[in-house]
């Protein structure tokens, strides 16, 4: 492989006339744009919140939407201070602005789309500048959102999405500061703003890595200037409102909760003296996850780096391409930070993708690999897409058990899909984009064409089969059944104890969905001995352990998500009440 300074798609053997080339360029440009935004939109709307992460995120959005407390994030009735509130603020604002036409969750998803558009713009413009293309560089954003570790995570209402956007903005600004003609004030302010957005999204991890990167680039001659020092001063100034305003208000609202957020959820989770989930299984698992989840962006970036070092050598590479060297410093520091951390989850890698996507977008595939990649994408993605259409027909006609294979482990095979004209039309549009990509596959290039195939598969799954997947992952159906059961419970009085629902072993995600779907804000019980505080007891059993409820309680309901064999809810009332 070798690095080039032009866009990755290969040119045909015989250049066409200028007019036809211009027309073809416009076609490729707009087709690439349509493929990218179809991918972003597919799976973003027309569904319920899904575990993990989304249900408790929606719980916080719902509280901000209602205006209960604009400083302290809460899920149902309880504070939940794992993450800062910028995702939940923006989600609540857009949900409020669209409340007349969209449900709260659908309106909040507009914030996810807005943050993604910011990330796409920053990454595309940075790649355009680095590789000399006259048009917006669509491949880099495609690699960012289309790598295995990003496909689902970028569509979810989580704090990692604005953190991704903040990282993309900061890296784009830091790259511009390698050139002497760039305005130190403008790009310094944008770098600080990006770091500030990342901080107010999820805390210290990404701003810390960005700060280390801003210092590490001083090993590169292009950054050892007074202009860069001035830019860092502007960056600090721009980051201060993000770093100070909400934390100060949070401290004044509740000092213990502030300490829990700042110390336990930033330092405690990182160093391992507080266990909040996401602990690593093994370093080998980390390596395999990194290799698998960063495909194809990370693999292409590594190939581009090897080719460049073979051509020019490492020292010359750092001197001639300081922006690329800076991105590699960020990647190395980010990975090292994850390695030394005691807690790691796949979604933590999301802010790595802006850098490796830009690095991978500069690679030119050898002709044999270009043909192989296109051929495999054509066959594999077409087969998968057609399979999803066939699966839709089987579920639509009530024949879900036909040729199901292992699908029944995750999805309810007896579910009959409703016919949705809107989703079918969207799937037809996605299929039309795939057909157009096949027609123009040589002009698109193998990598963009591969993303077109991914859009076909992901878009078909997220339109035709979306209600089926939603039935398995949503709490709407079981909690509607719970609401009906609670409506039949006679109240013994008007006291708070007779009307409240006490929960035991019910996590923040489930409590958030109880609030969202049926307007129940359960009281967390420290132990079953405290169950008498409320008139209804709700417990959550796991497959590995069933909770033993004290005597004097009778079950009025049990249920769970379709296809979920791990979770089972049970609701009880005192025997005398029933």
- The pLDDT score that the predictor gives to residue 310 is 86
**Residue 87 burial by CB count (10 A; 0-12/13-18/19+): exposed, middle or buried?**
buried
Contacting residues for 439 by C-beta, under 8 A, at least 6 apart: none
Domain ranges of the chain: 40-258+279-362, 367-473, 476-574
Distance CA 114, CA 200 (A): 16
pLDDT at 491: 64
Alpha helices in 104-225 (DSSP H): 104-131, 139-146, 160-176, 184-202, 205-216
Residue 562: closest CA among 411, 392, 417: 411
Cα(423)–Cα(466) distance, integer angstroms? 8
pLDDT for the residue 69: 87
Instruction: State the pLDDT at residue 166.
Output: 98
Q: How far apart are CA 19 and CA 366, in angstroms?
A: 28
pLDDT at 101: 94
Q: What is the pLDDT of residue 543?
A: 81
Measured distance CA(22)–CA(15) in Å, rounded:
11
Cα separation, 235 vs 474, in Å, equals 42
Residue-level pLDDT at 5: 38
Structure tokens, 343: 């807690």
**DSSP letter, residue 203:** -
> What confidence score (pLDDT) does residue 274 get?
63
Count of H-run helices and E-run strands, the chain? 24, 9
Q: What is the pLDDT of residue 279?
A: 65
| Beta strand pairing call for 536-542 and 501-504 | parallel
pLDDT tens, residue order, the chain (578 aa):
344 433 344 334 434 445 555 777 889 999 999 999 999 999 999 999 998 789 999 999 999 999 878 999 999 888 999 999 999 999 999 999 999 999 999 999 999 999 999 999 999 999 999 998 778 899 999 999 999 999 999 999 999 999 999 999 999 999 999 998 889 999 999 999 999 999 999 999 999 999 999 999 999 999 999 999 999 999 999 999 999 999 999 999 999 999 999 988 888 777 766 666 666 677 788 888 899 999 999 999 999 999 888 888 888 888 889 999 999 999 999 999 998 887 778 899 999 999 999 999 999 899 999 999 999 999 999 999 999 999 999 999 999 898 888 888 889 999 999 999 999 999 999 999 999 999 999 999 999 999 999 999 999 999 999 999 999 999 999 999 999 999 888 764 444 455 689 999 999 999 999 999 999 999 888 888 888 888 899 999 988 788 999 888 999 999 999 878 889 999 999 887 65
Are 514 and 75 in contact by the 8 Å Cβ rule? The answer is: no
- What's the confidence (pLDDT) of residue 577? 64
Q: What pLDDT is attached to residue 495?
A: 46
């Amino acid at each position: 492989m070798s690095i080039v300074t032009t866009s990755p798609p290969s040119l045909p053997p015989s250049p066409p006339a200028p007019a036809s080339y211009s027309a073809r360029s416009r076609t490729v440009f707009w087709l690439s744009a349509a493929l990218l935004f179809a991918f972003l939109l597919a799976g973003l709307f027309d569904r319920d919140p899904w575990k993990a992460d989304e249900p408790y995120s929606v719980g916080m959005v719902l509280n901000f939407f209602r205006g209960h407390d604009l400083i302290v994030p809460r899920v149902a009735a309880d504070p939940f201070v794992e993450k800062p509130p910028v995702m939940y603020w923006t989600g609540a604002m857009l949900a409020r602005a669209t409340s007349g036409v969209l449900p709260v969750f659908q309106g909040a998803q507009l914030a996810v789309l807005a943050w993604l558009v910011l990330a796409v713009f920053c990454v595309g413009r940075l790649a355009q500048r680095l590789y000399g293309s006259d048009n917006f560089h669509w491949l880099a954003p495609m690699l960012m959102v289309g790598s295995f570790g990003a496909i689902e995570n970028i569509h979810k209402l989580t704090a990692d999405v604005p953190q991704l956007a903040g990282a993309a903005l900061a890296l784009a600004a830091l790259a511009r500061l390698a050139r002497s003609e760039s305005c130190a004030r403008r790009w310094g302010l944008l770098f600080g703003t990006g770091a500030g957005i990342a901080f107010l999204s999820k805390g210290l991890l990404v701003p810390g890595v960005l700060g280390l990167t801003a210092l590490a680039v001083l090993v590169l001659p292009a950054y050892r200037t007074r202009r860069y020092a001035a830019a860092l001063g502007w960056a600090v100034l721009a980051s201060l409102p993000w770093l100070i305003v909400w934390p100060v208000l949070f401290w004044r609202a509740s000092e213990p909760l502030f300490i829990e957020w700042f110390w336990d959820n930033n330092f405690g989770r990182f160093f391992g003296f507080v266990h909040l989930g996401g602990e690593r299984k093994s370093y080998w698992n980390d390596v395999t996850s990194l290799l698998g989840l960063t495909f194809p962006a990370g693999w292409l970036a590594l190939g581009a780096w090897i080719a460049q070092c073979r051509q020019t050598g490492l020292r010359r590479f750092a001197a001639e391409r300081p922006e690329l060297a800076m991105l590699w410093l960020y990647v190395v520091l980010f990975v090292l930070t994850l390695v030394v951390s005691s807690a790691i989850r796949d979604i933590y890698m999301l802010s790595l993708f802006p850098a490796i996507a830009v690095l991978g977008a500069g690679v030119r595939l050898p002709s044999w690999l270009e043909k192989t990649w296109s051929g495999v994408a054509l066959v594999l993605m077409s087969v998968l897409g057609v399979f999803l259409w066939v699966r839709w027909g089987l579920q639509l006609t009530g024949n879900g058990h036909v040729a199901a294979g292992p699908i029944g482990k995750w999805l309810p095979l007896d579910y009959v899909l409703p016919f949705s004209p809107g989703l079918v039309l969207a799937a037809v549009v996605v299929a039309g984009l795939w057909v157009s990509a096949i027609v123009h596959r040589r002009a698109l290039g193998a990598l963009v064409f591969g993303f077109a195939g991914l859009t076909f598969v992901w878009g078909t799954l997220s339109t035709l089969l979306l209600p089926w997947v939603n039935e398995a992952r949503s709490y709407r159906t079981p909690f509607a059944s719970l609401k009906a059961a609670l409506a039949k419970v006679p109240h013994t009085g008007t006291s708070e104890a007779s009307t409240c629902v006490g929960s035991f072993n019910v996590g923040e995600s489930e409590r958030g969905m109880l609030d969202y779907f049926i307007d129940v804000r359960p009281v967390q019980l420290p132990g079953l001995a405290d169950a008498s505080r409320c008139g209804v007891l709700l417990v959550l059993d796991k497959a590995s352990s069933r909770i033993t409820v004290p005597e004097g309680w009778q079950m009025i309901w049990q249920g769970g998500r379709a296809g979920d064999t791990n979770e089972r809810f049970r609701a009880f009332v005192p025997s005398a009440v029933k």
